[in-house]
Amino acid sequence: MVKYNDLLKILKIKFTHEELLDRAFNHRSFLNETKNKIESNERLEFLGDTVLSFVVSDFLYNSYPQYSEGYLTNLRSSLVKTSTLAKIASKLHLGDFLKLSKGEEESGGKNNSSLMADTFEALIGAIYLGLGLKAAKKIIEQHIFPMIPGIIKDKSYKDAKSTFQEIVQENTKNSPLYQVIKETGPDHAKEFTIGVYVNSKLWGSGAGHNKQEAEQSAATSALENWNKK
């Protein structure tokens, strides 16, 4: 467990299930690089995504009784979206532990927002299996809940794609154009990278497991770049 000591200190947990942590950091591309019979992190990612959504939903429901279902849904989406989880994964240095194929690593896999968000979800899944819901909830409380006041204040819970379209149409009278830049992965686990363009200029790009998610991520990136201009 020595290799995970720094991570466990940051997470403030004691964890003895090394095989679960190892699995949480096995990207599917790595399975072709080893002769050992190992499992990818995809099942843990699936579980972690469910735990994350439940814990966040439960907290929002009980903490904000004044908000409607639609408002809470947008707020939750903002908290569990790819870009948010990728930032947390980066803060926790999860890329240091992630095992990728040589090709995936050389193509910048450890800087891929979608891939890093998936890794965080897999970690939550591993902690849930090893220590239970209380421990997983503690991690989510530490790293996600503190973002809520800022998101409400900045109204960044609003749909990024709609917001970017309103801004672009107001300033240019044109609409943003979304185009697929890259498509990777097998049919059952596709990953899309999409760019958003205004007057042929790329303003942002984002990745996701479906085109809608990737477009939202691209719009979020575009909004950040638009505000910097």
Question: Residues forming the annotated binding site?
Answer: 45, 118, 121
Of the residues 49, 104, 191, 213, which is catalytic? 49
Cβ atoms of residues 63 and 92 within 8 Å:
no
Q: Tell me how far apart the alpha carbons of residues 110 and 33 are, in angstroms, rounded to a whole number.
A: 17
Q: Are 183 and 202 in contact (CB under 8 A)?
A: no
Given the residues 42, 104, 121, 213, select the one marked as catalytic: 121
The one-letter amino acid code at 2 reads V
For 60, the token pair is 């929002």
Report CA 189 to chain centroid distance, whole Å.
15
Q: Which residues are annotated as a binding site for Mg(2+)?
A: 45, 118, 121
- Is 154 in the active site? no
At residue 44, φ and ψ (nearest 5 deg) are: -65, -35
Please confirm, yes or no, whether 96 is among the known catalytic residues. Answer: no
176: nearest Cα among 218, 132, 144, 207: 218
**Which residue numbers are catalytic?**
49, 121
